[in-house]
Amino acid sequence: MVFDKTKPVAIGADHAGYTYKDDAKKWLEEHGYTVKDFGTQGPASVDYPDFAHPVAEAVENGEAAFGILFCGSANGVAITANKHQGIRAGLCWDNEVAKLVRLHNDANIICLPARFISLPYALQMLETFTTTAFEGGRHANRVGKMGCM
């Protein structure tokens, strides 16, 4: 098992990504995950850090197995989440990138740009992310150097 299914998945989105978030929740539940939804729940304009920080904190504190963040470009949520120690949030726009952020970077949050990818492709990347294990080896040393000292 790549991620611990006994812990929930932390998920969040801003107004640009909330519909993808809702569909991702359904997909996760169909695949045996429980989900902790940090919002948002509608199209009203919101500030993405208000949702990215709680997702990152849940992963950082070990309360969640991993996290998923959606926003328009996914840049804002990725930057915000990566401010947290122990978080490796990867911005994914392609299925191969979703594989490599797990395989080489041991990402624990996937950030998806809802305005630039289709929902089916987002779910495909989510499947790749959740089924790809960290390769370790030469990558473990590099991942170990990511945190601030």
Which residue among the candidates 15, 53, 84, 104 is catalytic per the annotation?
104
Which residue among the candidates 53, 71, 84, 111 is catalytic per the annotation?
71
DSSP structural state of residue 133: P
Interatomic CA distance for residues 107 and 140, integer angstroms? 12
Measure the CA angle with vertex 98, ends 94 and 103; round to 5°.
Answer: 140
Instruction: Calculate the CA dihedral of residues 113, 118, 94, 18 and round it to 10 degrees.
Output: 30
Q: Is 53 a catalytic residue?
A: no
33 Cβ neighbours under 8 A, 6+ residues apart: 5, 8, 9, 65
Q: Is 71 a catalytic residue?
A: yes
Residue 125: what residue type? M
The residues assigned a catalytic role are: 71, 104
